[in-house]
A and B are shown apart, each in its own frame.
Chain A
Amino acid sequence: MATLLRSVVRPLCAFRGSPGPPAGVPLRAVSHGAGLLYPEHIPTSLLQKVLLAAGSAGMALYNPYRHDMVAVLGETTGHRALKVLRDQMKRDPEGAQILQERPRISLSTLDMGKLRSLPEGSFGCAYLHFLDVNKVSPDTRAPTRFVDDEELAYVIQRYREIHDMLHTLLGMPTNILGEIVVKWFEAVQTGLPMCILSALFGPIQLSAQNLQLLISELIPWAVENGHRAPCVLSVYYERRWEQPLQALRQELGITEPPLRVEGLV
């Protein structure tokens, strides 16, 4: 818990020295073309990041359907954690390759035909099955905007895009309970303040029964797996479609969930 708290406080200090024009200076010159580090980049000052972080946190709590606010919160508070993640990826050969090649996961980059032809039990097949059953698409991830470092912007984009893979690996559906479990796993893995806040505040809306199951079984399992697994961002998922799901789980040290979550919500 102390580590978690520290990892919440530390990123707040990351506000100091973040690049961007000083408060009050019109951003006209910067926001159009010239100062952009990547296509969707919106340069923001320190003050703006603070306001955005506070505003997005409040709005996300007030209206849980504002997923874009959760994304904004992640971007504005994740600087320190993203640097740590990026360094972790660099140290791992597969992770370094990802940083080099910058693969993106979207319907246009995935070979859906090939995925469909994969044998039952393979990771690719399981992933496709997950997308179908939960009626989600890899294209729903909003592009990064408020990260003022082009490489870190990719890291957070990658984190968002592999979220569905984590669901598949952990065997969690996309309902509230499943999402919270995945968030706990991600919080331990990434240390992103947004994950930690979601993990802590998400359960507020749960029923007593679900809450009990969450606390007694699911969270300990997620945390344990999160600690045991290597950096999940360093896994080149696009090269492992044929790998059997169980083998991949074993490689990452992910055990079976203590109970099936579908029936509970």
Chain B
Amino acid sequence: MAAPRSWALWSFCGRGWSRVVSGYRLPGLRSSSPRGPLGARLLSQEKEATETHFGFETVSEEEKGGKVYQVFESVAKKYDVMNDMMIVFVFDLSSCWLPAGDIAFRFLNYVQAQHQRKQKRQLRAQQNLSWEEIARKYQNEEDSLGGSRVMVCDINKEMLKIGKQKAHAQGYKAGLAWILGDAEELPFDDDKFDVYTIAFGIRNVTHIDQALQEAHRVLKPGGRFLCLEFSQVNNPLLSRLYDVYSFQVIPVLGEVIAGDWKSYQYLVESIRQFPSQEEFKEMIEDAGFQKVTYENLTSGIVAIHSGFKL
């Protein structure tokens, strides 16, 4: 029985500060609806973060991998995407500490691992394979993603180039396409992708509503939109500390480390400019998405919004 083909369109933005995210526990997104995978409700209440990381702390690879793994595990379960065509859609890899490509790479790792597991299962199911046949099967494996396809899109040519280099350095070639494009005017046909994600990117788009509309357009019916973005902090004490840190320390660090005060000033300001969780949820709904929910991480410093094109 052939698994249904599914396409995932993900977009990532790496505009600074991915390390902030790496400090958070991403709670698993569980489906609570009796109807099954579609219509999963994200818990929007605040989760307790045992680590309160602000900025530039290093976390181990496994830890970060595990956190991101949980998000994509849920997505994969819902759409049976492991075996099929997937598209990853990447936005604006510019000036990232832990480039957004890192999230994409974690995802690619996951898809690869799933594909390998599937291969192993297939091999086990086949009886009496000779050693040569097994070896040949593994050797001939050129498409490590098992048919999943990932489309990486960015408006910035230079950053796209860097993302590509990083991908190649990590051994990802098959199944990846790199497209220069604008989130407000995507160079893709309608109803093409299973998943569209954007991480730390939508904040930088001039017309967020247009980007949301485009996301809606290129997703297939049943497709899911996921957005990871800085949001409003709901805890007053944390908010105050966060403000001090954002405006006093971040630009200084930007100047000392990158020689660029202004970009980091922009970064912290653009975070404040971005609509709140509820406002953004309404914007996503206005673009035509349904079952829109959001999940706060660390009292709302970052939020994951999710919506479905139904």
Interface residues of A (CB under 8 A from B): 23-28, 31, 42, 45, 47-48, 51-52, 55-56, 58-59, 66, 68-69, 72, 145
- How far does the Cβ of B74 sit from chain A's closest Cβ, in whole Å? 36
- How far does the Cβ of A148 sit from chain B's closest Cβ, in whole Å? 15
Measured in the bound complex, the distance between the Cα atoms of B257 and A72 in whole Å is: 12
B272 touches A28 (CB 8 A): yes
Known: A24-B243, A52-B255. A45 touches B265 (CB 8 A): no
Measured in the bound complex, the distance between the Cα atoms of B271 and A28 in whole Å is: 12
With a cutoff of 8 Å between Cβ atoms, the chain A residues found around residue B243 in the complex are: 24, 26
B272 touches A26 (CB 8 A): yes
A27 touches B256 (CB 8 A): no
Fill in one digit per residue for B248-263: 1 if any A CB lies within 8 Å of its CB, else 0: 1101110111010110
With a cutoff of 8 Å between Cβ atoms, the chain B residues found around residue A28 in the complex are: 269, 272
Q: How large is the interface on B (under 10, 10 to 19, 20 to 34, 35 or more residues)?
A: 10 to 19
A23 touches B265 (CB 8 A): no
Q: When the two chains form the complex, which single residue of A52, A66, A145 contacts B252, counting CB atoms closer than 8 Å?
A: A52
A27 touches B252 (CB 8 A): no
Known: A56-B256, A68-B259. A25 touches B247 (CB 8 A): yes
B257 touches A59 (CB 8 A): yes
Known: A28-B272, A31-B265, A42-B261. A72 touches B255 (CB 8 A): yes
- Is there a chain A Cβ closer than 8 Å to B177's Cβ? no
With a cutoff of 8 Å between Cβ atoms, the chain B residues found around residue A42 in the complex are: 261-262
Give B171-196 interface residues, CB cut-off 8 Å to A: none
With a cutoff of 8 Å between Cβ atoms, the chain B residues found around residue A69 in the complex are: 256
Cβ-closest chain A residue relative to B268: A26
With a cutoff of 8 Å between Cβ atoms, the chain B residues found around residue A26 in the complex are: 243, 247, 269, 272
- Is there a chain A Cβ closer than 8 Å to B137's Cβ? no
B249 touches A51 (CB 8 A): yes
- Top 7 nearest A-B pairs (CB, nearest first) are A55-B256, A24-B244, A51-B252, A59-B256, A47-B248, A52-B252, A26-B247
